[in-house]
Amino acid sequence: MKKGTEINRGTRSYATKDNRFAIQTFSLSRKFGDLVAVNSIDLSIEEGELFSVLGPNGAGKTTTIKMLCCLLRPSSGTATIMGHDIQKDTIAVKKVIDVSPQETAIAEHLNAWENLSLMGGIYGLEKEEVKKRSEELLEMMGLTKRAKDKVRKYSGGMKRRLSIVMALVSDPQVLFLDEPTLGLDPQSRRSIWEHIAELKGKKTIVLTTHYLEEADALADRVAIIDEGKIVALGTPQELKDSISDIQVMVVKAKNLTIDVIEGLREKYPEVKEVEDGIEIKAKEFSFDEVVDYLRPRGVVIESTSRKQPTLDDVFLHLTRKELRE
């Protein structure tokens, strides 16, 4: 697992400043009254890395992004972006970053070209430079044919793609994507994944999401955050391997009653209802043992299968919460 330089001090470890990293946070925290939204986060993100922050709504993901983008001051701690401190050198930070926010900031009465021209003017870019970059980005995101249409005529997926293009027109070194596929249908979501994957290695990307498959498909590394704290950090495979001792069995069956399911919950630590059946998680059990319990109780078993752990399983194991709560 990749890490920054760390100094052990009792039970805490503190990352030390290292200019090899695109982003570093140092006990980064934010409170809103008595609510601790972000609680002493320490991270080191390499240049060119696609780093995903995964967690449910309200976990602190967007608050973290706002602090890193200098839109919200930390209550304590700090961070550096390409060596620039977010509290001491905000102008320098804003020159090297851009963000595609959770709520798209697009002028819907304008077309794509006009929105990009507006963004270029905000950044003080030459018109020819904006035109050249816009042509490349619109082509990459599959928006060229609709670039002259008013944005209000776009689908939700097209608006999200345009939002990403608007964040890229300034050619930032660090790109923040805050829930870029929130609320989209699966087809639109996967289309955006393909475009984000094209940027891997070219930009340092911080992607916040609560879609498990998004982080698994795209991220070099993942930080799972819950109640403002990082509860796990590693590559998607490392995180899944960390609970490889947990077995997951899926049983497709009919006549499953509440009493039968409650009986299973007395035998195994995690039993949940899924479509057309149940899912059982435990460190030890056998298929025969489950089948021998179900059949005498009138349950008709259609199929049983073993499932590999997912990031959802990792999150549930660490927090005892469903990721999409």
Query: Taking Cα atoms as reference points, which of 245, 162, 176 lies closest to residue 208?
Result: 176
What pLDDT, on the 0 to 100 scale, is given for residue 11? 31
Euclidean distance between CA atoms 137 and 161, whole angstroms: 10
What pLDDT, on the 0 to 100 scale, is given for residue 134? 94
What pLDDT, on the 0 to 100 scale, is given for residue 12? 36
User: What domains can you pick out in the chain, each with its CATH number?
Assistant: 6-240 (3.40.50.300), 247-308 (3.30.70.980)
Beta strands at 21-32 and 35-46: parallel, antiparallel or unpaired: antiparallel
Cα 98 from chain centroid (whole Å): 17
- The pTM of this model reads 0.78
**Token pair belonging to 151:** 């944005």
How would you write the chain as a 3-class SS string?
Answer: CCCCCEEEECCEEEECCCCCEEEEEEEEEEEECCEEEEEEEEEEEECCCEEEEECCCCCCHHHHHHHHCCCCCCCEEEEEECCEECCCCHHHHHHHEEEECCCCCCCCCCEHHHHHHHHHHHCCCCHHHHHHHHHHHHHHCCCHHHCCCEHHHCCHHHHHHHHHHHHHCCCCCEEEEECCCCCCCHHHHHHHHHHHHHHECCEEEEEEECCHHHHHHHCCEEEEEECCEEEEEECHHHHHHCCCCCEEEEEEEECCCHHHHHHHHHHCCEEEEECCEEEEEECCCCHHHHHHHHHHHCCEEEEEEEECCCHHHHHHHHHCCCCCC
Amino acid identity, position 270: E
Tens digit of each residue's pLDDT, the chain (325 residues): 443 333 232 333 345 667 779 999 999 999 999 999 999 999 999 999 999 998 888 889 989 999 999 999 999 999 999 999 999 999 999 999 999 987 778 999 999 999 999 999 988 889 999 999 999 999 989 999 999 999 999 998 999 999 999 999 999 999 999 889 888 888 888 888 998 999 999 999 999 988 888 898 899 999 999 899 999 999 998 998 887 777 888 999 898 999 999 999 998 888 888 888 998 888 777 888 888 899 999 999 988 888 777 787 787 777 766 655 4
| 80 burial via Cβ count (<10 Å: 0-12, 13-18, 19+) | buried
Query: Taking Cα atoms as reference points, which of 300, 295, 265 lies closest to residue 279?
Result: 265
Euclidean distance between CA atoms 69 and 102, whole angstroms: 13
Euclidean distance between CA atoms 161 and 106, whole angstroms: 11
